[in-house]
Amino acid sequence: MSLAVTFSTIPEMFLNLTDKYMHDARPMLLRKVEGSYVPMSYRDVREQVALLYHGLSFLGVRKGDRVALLSENRPEWVITDQAVLQLGAFDVPIYPSQTAKQIEFILRDAGVSVIVVSNRFQLAKIQRIRDEVKTLKHVIVMNDTEDLPEGSMSFSAVLSLGELQHGAHPNAAREACAQILPEDLCTIIYTSGTTGNPKGVMLTHANFVSNIVAATQVLPITDKDVLLSFLPLCHVFERMAGYYTAMSCGASIAYAESVETVAENMLEVRPTIVVAVPRLFERIYNRVARMVEKDSPTKRKVFYKAVEIGRAKVLADKHGGAGVLLRVKYAMMKKLVFSKLSQRTGGRIRYFVSGGAALPRELGEFFEAVGMLIIEGYGLTESSPVISANRLDAYRFGSVGRPLPGIEVKIAEDGEILTRGPHVMKGYYNSRRATDEAIDSNGWLHTGDIGMMDEHGFLYITDRKKHLFVSSGGKNIAPQPIENLFAGSEFIDQFVLIGDKRMFLTALIVPDFDSIRAYADSHGIPYDDVKDLVKNSEIYKAIEQSIQSRQKDLSNFEKVRRFTLLENPFTIENGEMTPSMKIRRKAVEERYLDLIDAMYRT
């Protein structure tokens, strides 16, 4: 186990950790300021949390109150989280991408009394709905800004309010922390949901602590590690894995400026561990593929030979070890080829952690071959979130690993994955009925996912229970594995399978625009913009060939017969994706119904 301290609640973890590393020169957090990463020491973060604790207390925040967080990843997110939890209150994280109307529902449902927002853009959303949220008393803005509206104040002003109280009561946080019990509520996280209003998942300190302890028994993290955080902290995956678990081991956490700057920030931070979603690996792979195709025939041959040797070395190591000749060849390719790929991630990656969606098997195998291991796990908000994970010394691509220690998993008669243990949520806020539907009388959480376990205990996810298609011919079809099959294509950015109650399968495809531009340039295809490329028959044929090559081993009823290329990606803003980047299948089908029907007419 690599926990740096012992604890039974999240505030106790923070206080014990900052006690231990108070005089340590290592940074606890890092953020980009005026073009450079600036460290925040354990002492600095502890001091800021203490001041905010007293400032919020002065504003009237008490045990059991709800404080919302509407912000991108930054140190103030962590500082607010810890101060709120030390008060015995619990926070309600909200995606910065959500609309004012979506935010209004969450604030009203949770009965939020204080909201902390990152900037004026987020503040404007709150101002539009403030009169509708009767419980909301204070709005705090992280960025220092002038002319704030009545009832709003800056983050720094709240810290100033806390200074006097902190000086008079320096041990108040420690005393308050002692009154917080493991079974007390820690947070309410509203699931984005692909249909209807979101539900508030109630997670306790015990839920998180059990998941942290179990995760650190599976994945080694030490106080020498540095993580780059870019997945939203309002999502439970990043909060638990990239924040609580990393912090509990004494690791340093650096915040990416945005999703778009991750590649640049990796070079600056040089992380040892990165928690990510499959889309990151798809982008890295596609970028590498484009660069290789631009190289000379000789360099392309060397690259593909290197990957071949990497795969052979991996396979040999799994079956008794590679021979001398293979080890020599691998060492040569590592120096000539793989080291260059490694440098693009900062050169220090020990392993990646992937979650949130299925990792295509071929991506995992490619990164493994070039010396960068991706460890995939599985979970959901209602399970705090991790249920299972692969291990560094026991992993299978296509699988989400074995259950974490202390967690039970079984497959129901209809194929649904059920789980039971200390990681299972307390329930849904304000919804006893939804809670009873999710957790049965024996304590099993019904995940809604369909899966199987092999004879070695590895869990495989095949699809969402509610997403299973039934063709007009009566065939049951799981769309997710088929969609994942095409996700690794360099030409495909987003892929939505269509076919429920239809005669055959079709697809809506958002191309990878960088890839099709590169293909057009190399094949002399003229175009003015992406609209020209989407309509171009040669581009269509190239994507069609990629699809045919990938689906050759599928059954006939699982094969995509026709597809339509789209000019615009699916986004959160247009309602076609959830804030956690899952496709809202119903919304997509409704919007593109005419295009879908046309594929079945021709």
- Position 307 pLDDT exceeds 80: yes
- Position 318 pLDDT exceeds 60: yes
pLDDT of residue 192: 67
- Position 475 pLDDT exceeds 80: no
Residues of the chain with CATH 3.30.300.30: 468-601
pLDDT of residue 348: 97
DSSP output for 144-197: --SSPPTTEEEHHHHHHHHHHHHHH-TTHHHHHHTT--TTSEEEEEE---SSSS
pLDDT tens digit sequence for 53-72: 999 999 999 999 999 999 99
- Position 194 pLDDT exceeds 80: no
The number of CA neighbours under 13 Å toward the Cβ of 287 is: 10
C-alpha to C-alpha distance for 525 and 344, rounded to whole angstroms: 31
Rg (CA), the chain: 25
Identify the helix (H) or strand (E) that includes residue 452.
Answer: strand 445-453
Of the candidates 77, 379, 125, 91, the residue with the CA atom closest to the CA atom of residue 256 = 77
pLDDT of residue 491: 94
pLDDT of residue 196: 62
Residue-wise burial string across 56-66, b where 16 or more C-beta atoms lie within 10 A, e elsewhere: bbebebeeebb
421 conformational bin, left if phi > 0, alpha if psi -120 to 50, beta if neither:
left
Residues of the chain with CATH 3.40.50.12780: 10-272, 278-347+349-465
Pairing state of beta strands 469-470 and 476-477? antiparallel
pLDDT of residue 122: 97
Question: Mean pLDDT, to the nearest integer, of 384-402?
Answer: 96
pLDDT of residue 166: 86
pLDDT of residue 508: 97
Q: Which residue has the higher pLDDT, 38 or 279?
A: 38
State residue 27 phi and psi, 5-degree precision. Answer: -75, 145
Residue recorded with tokens 């299978």: 396
Q: CB of 428 within 8 A of CB of 435?
A: yes
- Position 501 pLDDT exceeds 90: no
C-alpha to C-alpha distance for 85 and 53, rounded to whole angstroms: 9
C-alpha to C-alpha distance for 248 and 242, rounded to whole angstroms: 10
SS3 content of the chain, % helix, strand, coil (to 5): 45, 20, 35
- Position 195 pLDDT exceeds 60: no
- Please give the structure tokens belonging to residue 292: 């290789």
pLDDT of residue 289: 87
Non-local (6+) Cβ contacts of 368 within 8 A are 310, 314, 374, 397
pLDDT tens digit sequence for 84-126: 999 999 999 999 988 899 899 999 999 999 999 999 999 999 9
Q: CB of 400 within 8 A of CB of 388?
A: yes
Q: Domain 278-347+349-465: give its CATH superfamily.
A: ANL, N-terminal domain (3.40.50.12780)
pLDDT of residue 227: 98
- Position 157 pLDDT exceeds 70: yes
* Whole-number Cα distances in Å, 130 to 47, 89, 110, 375: 31, 21, 14, 43
pLDDT band at 193 (very low <50, low <70, confident <90, very high): low
CA 371 to chain centre: 23
pLDDT tens digit sequence for 348-381: 999 999 998 888 888 999 999 999 999 999 999 9
pLDDT of residue 333: 96
CATH code of the region 10-272 = 3.40.50.12780
C-alpha to C-alpha distance for 457 and 230, rounded to whole angstroms: 31
pLDDT of residue 22: 96
Q: How far apart are the first and last CA of the chain?
A: 60
- Position 1 pLDDT exceeds 70: no
Q: CB of 389 within 8 A of CB of 400?
A: yes
CATH topology of domain 468-601: GMP Synthetase; Chain A, domain 3 (3.30.300)
Q: Which residue has the higher pLDDT, 370 or 475?
A: 370
State whether the Cα torsion 313-314-315-316 is positive or negative.
positive
- Position 589 pLDDT exceeds 60: yes
C-alpha to C-alpha distance for 397 and 588, rounded to whole angstroms: 29
Q: CB of 39 within 8 A of CB of 53?
A: no
State whether the Cα torsion 473-475-476-478 is positive or negative.
negative
- Position 334 pLDDT exceeds 90: yes
State residue 117 phi and psi, 5-degree precision. Answer: -115, 160
State the chain's mean pLDDT as an integer.
Answer: 93
